[in-house]
Amino acid sequence: MDIQALDSITQKSAGEALYREACEYITGGVSRNTVFRRPHPFYAASASGCYVTDVDGIQRLDFANNMASLIHGHAHPAIVSAVVEQLHRGTAYTMATEAELAFAKLLCHRVPGFEKVRFVNSGTEAVMTMIKASRAYTGRPKIAKTEGAYHGTYDFAEISQTSKPDQWGDINKPNSVPLAYGTPQGVLDDVIIFPFNDIEKTLNILDAQADQIACVIIDPVPHRVGLVPGTDAFIEALYDWTRRNNALLVFDEVVTLRVNYGGAQARYTVKPDMTALGKIIGGGFPVGAIAGRTEVMRVLDPREKKILFPHSGTFSANPITTTAGRVAMELFDKDAVSRLNDLTRKAMDQIEEAIKIADVPVSLTGAGSMFRIHLRATPPQTYREAYQPREVVALIDEILDYLYLNENIMMINTCACMFSTPMTQKEVDILAQAMLNVFRHIKPTLEKVHKEVYE
């Protein structure tokens, strides 16, 4: 390489140079689209607590926490110590482990209704396994899910997660809209879509195909629907419907387990038949799990004369993940949950005060230790209200770039924050001031877009 070319590279960021090289070996230069950004993604060098330092030496306050998976932030000493100790004993075997048993016992004792657990390797795999177990248990082919809800990348689970106005159809019978090109028609035919928190419309939709539905899958606080909790009446109506029609009610708590000590389901009087878990239960490592009633989980049991759902996974319940997960969940005890939820509520209050000071049409929704910022004066209650047209998406991107580059703050790309236990009032104050700064920065454009889109 000549001197002129070397000078050209050194004048640019280390991240830019890494991305150019990555594009030669990795499709699009990234292995998950979530981290892609123009002109190039940023590359992490190290992280500790609630701060991440990139390869150019810039430290940022992290409210993304690897898409809500790091409840204790980065490199928590107790988790690191436990994992290093296990590393010396091995990372995976073709054998069961005590680490798996210890973690399963913790989860079952923690959440009422978790009678049995089965570990997998991701939230997507947990949802996939839960859906397949529902089919095996009921002998039925179809599932029903909320319009706009994200449940990972299993083809049945991802239907209608990004429905648009020109696709979504009549609210009384929403269309089943594919996410990926090439999705088979058979998949679309076997996924029934209903509107979140609308009892009458949902029950009418479910009744029309009652004898074909294996399970109704619900995220109790669906992020992409607007991060609004399911009402008690709605969840109870779904539970009652599944009892009447011999179907299963299954929860996706991959994200929402953080909401309460016993997950988002702790707020309801009824309990799901199965729950998919992931993210925070891995202690920073890839993880998934299905937990539920013994009778239902029996379809996975290798002791049965007829195994309805044979199931394995090379790295499922590996001792690194189960050790890290157990320590993480032990640390996330009732006091830690309460403290983090209270801190998040303070952050929401301070941001709402910033909204008033800046006098901008912005609202917040959330639950527990997570919230989402909406560029509209009144918070959305449904996916169709939470849907963001191109102009709003562009403005959110501008907000995120401003926060990232000017305030050194990382957020999830929907303009959402996921708190972690290392955070304190100091970090809340930094966030609130940054939000006031960005609201003032975008106010003229925001008012124009809001008038065009929402008024």
Q: Please state whether beta strands 363-367 and 142-146 pair in parallel, antiparallel, or not at all (unpaired).
A: unpaired
pLDDT at 12: 65
pLDDT at 34: 80
Average pLDDT, consecutive stretches of 10 residues, N- to C-terminus, the chain (455 residues): 38 81 89 82 93 95 97 98 98 97 98 97 98 98 98 96 96 96 97 98 98 98 96 98 98 98 97 98 98 98 95 96 98 98 98 98 98 96 94 95 96 96 98 98 95 90
Phi, psi for residue 103 in degrees, rounded to 5? -70, -40
Q: Where in the chain are the domains? A: 42-71+334-454, 77-331
Architecture of the domain defined by 77-331: 3-Layer(aba) Sandwich (3.40)
pLDDT at 29: 83
pLDDT at 15: 84
Question: In terms of pTM, does the model score above 0.75?
Answer: yes
Whether residue 39 has a cis bond before it, omega within 30° of 0: yes
Q: State the catalytic residues.
A: 150, 252, 279
- Looking at the domain 42-71+334-454, which fold is it? Aspartate Aminotransferase, domain 1 (3.90.1150)
Hey, how many other C-beta atoms are within 10 angstroms of the C-beta on 204? 13
pLDDT at 93: 97
Beta carbons of 273 and 246 less than 8 angstroms apart: no
CB proximity list for 140: less than 8 A, separation 6 or greater: 211, 212, 213, 214, 247
Using CA atoms, how far residue 183 sits from 46, 158, 160, 231, in Å, is 39, 10, 12, 32
Q: How far is CA 366 from the centre of its chain?
A: 13
